[in-house]
């Protein structure tokens, strides 16, 4: 029984060793394998068996994009202004072997390299350029860091300057400048509004005056046209009366009677002069005859 038990124990130990050396590499992961202390291979996704006692997993590497958020770094601008700038770094491991053997502590190395690069870039810019050139700073930092981390198997995808904090006195000056600029713009807008209002009022008064003049013109035209029509009607009526009178072939007595009616109209109190015909006696007789006829 003794040898059988020993054999069974050996089998169980062998199974345990084999099972313990079976590895399943997950998606977006990579294992760096060393054999007798030297680099052997890189395992990708899938099932793998490690040689017991000879091979070991030197490092498990994530191939996903990673983010490093660094605390604010003190930097000095070209015009000697000290400010605090914090950055965010997006990177991805593209070569697990270089990442494992390229640098001792990759995360610390990237942090130091980022701080140094940021100081160098900001040192070439003045304060105003620093505040308005974030895209330029991001692009320069990404290009420099990506090139510098290639020997480490790291690809820098993006660098973002998250926050820029100037000194308190400069912030106060900037706030005052911004307030003055807003007040200036407000004054300009108010002046422009007053100007536009005055222009509109003047245009309204001009149009009103034009309309009033046009209305007076039209009224005068209508009045003149009415008077002309009235005169034409009077003249037409007079012409019609004369025509009828001529067609009736009046005698001398009728003509003299019409002359007497005209003289009565002239003597209605409004005329200042009265012209008496030479044949007044004849007219008087004609008038007496007319009165007798009317009776």
Looking at the structure, do residues 85 and 136 belong to the same domain, yes or no?
Answer: yes
Q: Can you tell me whether residue 154 is helix, strand or coil?
A: strand
Looking at the structure, do residues 239 and 269 belong to the same domain, yes or no?
Answer: no
Looking at the structure, do residues 190 and 261 belong to the same domain, yes or no?
Answer: no
Contact assessment for residue 58 and residue 45, using Cβ atoms and an 8 Å cutoff: no
Give the C-alpha separation, 106 to 66, whole Å: 13
Looking at the structure, do residues 235 and 210 belong to the same domain, yes or no?
Answer: yes
| DSSP H/E element including 211 | helix 168-247
At 108, give phi and psi (nearest 5°): -65, -40
Looking at the structure, do residues 215 and 256 belong to the same domain, yes or no?
Answer: no
Residue 95 lies in a domain: yes
Radius of gyration of the chain (CA): 59
Residue 87 lies in a domain: yes
Cβ contacts of residue 234 below 8 Å, gap of 6+? none
Contact assessment for residue 35 and residue 21, using Cβ atoms and an 8 Å cutoff: no
Tokens 């942090």 — which residue?
111
Looking at the structure, do residues 155 and 211 belong to the same domain, yes or no?
Answer: no
pLDDT recorded at residue 5: 82
Q: Please give the sequence-ordered ranges of beta strands (E in DSSP) within the chain, or none if there are none.
A: 22-25, 29-35, 38-43, 46-49, 55-62, 65-69, 73-76, 82-93, 154-165
Looking at the structure, do residues 88 and 113 belong to the same domain, yes or no?
Answer: yes
Looking at the structure, do residues 202 and 212 belong to the same domain, yes or no?
Answer: yes
Q: In tens digits, what is the pLDDT along the chain, a chain of 295 residues?
A: 667 887 787 888 888 888 888 889 998 899 999 999 899 999 999 999 888 888 899 999 999 999 999 888 899 888 888 889 999 999 999 999 999 998 888 899 999 999 999 999 999 888 888 888 888 999 999 999 999 999 999 999 999 998 888 877 777 776 777 778 788 888 888 888 888 888 988 888 888 889 888 888 888 888 888 888 888 887 787 777 667 766 666 555 555 556 556 555 555 555 555 555 555 445 445 444 444 444 4
- Please work out, in degrees rounded to the nearest 5, the angle formed at the alpha carbon of residue 124 by the alpha carbons of 122 and 125: 65
Domain that holds residue 161: 65-166
> Which three-class secondary structure string do you get for 50-76?
CCCCCEEEEEEEECCEEEEECCCEEEE
Looking at the structure, do residues 150 and 176 belong to the same domain, yes or no?
Answer: no
Contact assessment for residue 126 and residue 77, using Cβ atoms and an 8 Å cutoff: yes
Residue 4 lies in a domain: no
pTM exceeds 0.75, yes or no: no
pLDDT tens, 275-285?
555 554 454 45
Residue 181 lies in a domain: yes
Residue 258 lies in a domain: yes
Count up the domains in the chain and report the number: 4
């Amino acid at each position: 029984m003794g040898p059988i038990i020993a054999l069974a124990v050996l089998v169980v130990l062998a199974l345990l060793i084999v099972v313990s050396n079976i590895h399943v590499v997950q998606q977006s992961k990579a294992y760096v394998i060393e054999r007798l202390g030297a680099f052997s291979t890189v395992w990708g996704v899938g099932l793998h068996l490690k040689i017991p006692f000879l091979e070991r997993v030197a490092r498990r590497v994530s191939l996903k994009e990673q983010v490093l958020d660094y605390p604010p770094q003190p930097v000095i601008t070209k015009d000697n202004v000290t400010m605090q700038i914090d950055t965010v770094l997006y990177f991805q491991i593209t070569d697990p072997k270089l990442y494992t053997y390229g640098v001792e502590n990759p995360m610390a190395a990237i942090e130091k390299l980022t701080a140094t690069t940021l100081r160098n870039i900001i040192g070439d810019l003045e304060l105003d350029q620093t505040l308005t050139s974030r895209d330029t700073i991001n692009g320069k930092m990404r290009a420099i860091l990506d090139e510098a981390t290639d020997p480490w198997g790291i690809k820098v995808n993006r660098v973002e300057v998250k926050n820029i904090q100037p000194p308190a006195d400069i912030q106060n000056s900037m706030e005052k400048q911004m307030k003055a600029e807003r007040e200036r713009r407000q004054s300009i807008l108010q002046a422009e509004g007053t100007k536009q209002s005055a222009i509109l009022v003047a245009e309204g008064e001009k149009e009103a005056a034009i309309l009033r003049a046009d209305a007076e013109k039209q009224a005068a035209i209508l009045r003149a046209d009415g008077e002309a029509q009235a005169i034409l009607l009077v003249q037409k009526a007079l012409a019609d009366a004369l025509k009828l009178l001529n067609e009736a072939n009046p005698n001398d007595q009728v003509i003299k009677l019409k002359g007497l009616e005209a003289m009565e109209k002239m003597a209605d109190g409004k005329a200042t002069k009265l012209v008496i015909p030479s044949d007044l006696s004849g007219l008087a007789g004609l008038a007496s005859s007319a009165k007798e006829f009317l009776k």
